[in-house]
Amino acid sequence: MYNVAVVGATGLVGREMVSILESRNFPVKSLKLLATSRSQGTIVQFKGQDIVVEEATPNSFEGIQIALFSAGEKGSKELAPFAVKAGAVVIDNSNAFRMEPDVPLVVPEVNEEKLREHKGIIANPNCSTIQMVVALAPLHRRFKIKRIVVSTYQSVSGTGREAVEELWEETKNILEGKPITPKVYPHQIAFNLLPHIDIFYPNGFSKEEMKMVNETRKILDDQSIKICATTVRVPVFRAHSESVNIETELPITPEEVREILSKAPGVVVVDKPEEAVYPMPIMAEGKDEVFVGRIRKDESIENGIVMWIVSDNIRKGAALNAVQIAESLIKLGLI
């Protein structure tokens, strides 16, 4: 049994972490819930008990063995070192440490063995990266992927609770003929698409797009893969979708892809387009798996495959992956 802390416990991902710890019967001896001073005193239920959320401070981690962080980049950089110093293993959901050379960036179905290299902090990848590599890793092992072109259709929950509320409010106001004033996003998100997630770099790509490029190479342990990403925010409440085109060194067929992915951990193949059966956000919401469909040959190149990948960004894309990392640490005897 382990003393566990959840940092950012009142946010969308933090609450999901608490729920997943309970539903997966994680061996929790004690659970400490931490957040900013604004959320101090909030009550969160865990296994039928009311737990009072405390303010997260550098002194919050005494006796904690596992600290699940969903505190944003700033909060993680400020507090994670104190948690490590107190003896905890930090599993961080932010971008703070992902590209640090000595910090493992882990998706358990893909590179669980990297956990053996941790020095106190383990990074949870970006949500859109996680679902893509779960599907692509088994194909990369078999056929060696040379190039990935991905376009994402990302739900507003990826931005947080305020964005979910903004989509609800905008939709309601538009249907009632009332004016809207975007606050979270630079433009209206209801009935609209925004090809804009995070800041833009001088090369014209957004931070979100470059996360997918850099994180995918690190997780697959292959810097030679050419990757081009376009990330788009869509008026969907939960679950991200991705159109993924891969080019491989070895010959590859849709039939082989379906066979391999049907046996891959964490993947469900949903691929009968002639019967209008394919992955959709409403199918993935609240589910743990990565759903893959629309698997077809890219006829414009010799060894190419196109597929459609959908997963719940709050679960597998964030909270579940973090808890799975903790489970892997226990399984491997690393904690």
Cβ proximity of 108 and 46 under 8 Å: no
Nearest to 7 by CA among 35, 43, 45: 35
Q: How far apart are CA 227 and CA 323, in angstroms?
A: 28
- Is 196 an active-site residue? no
How many CB atoms are closer than 10 A to CB 76? 24
Catalytic member of 118, 187, 228, 240: 240
Burial of 87 (0-12, 13-18, 19+ CB in 10 A): middle
Q: How far apart are CA 244 and CA 212, in angstroms?
A: 12
The region, left, alpha or beta by phi > 0 then psi within -120 to 50, assigned to residue 240 is beta
The Cα-based distances of 310 to 17, 189, 243 in angstroms read 20, 20, 9
> Is beta strand 2-7 parallel, antiparallel or unpaired with respect to 28-35?
parallel
Structure tokens at 140: 């990369």
Structure tokens at 223: 């810097």
Q: Which amino acid is at 99?
A: M
Residue 215 makes CB contacts below 8 A (sequence gap 6+) with 98, 99, 105, 125, 126, 129
Catalytic member of 118, 127, 187, 196: 127
| Residues designated catalytic | 127, 240
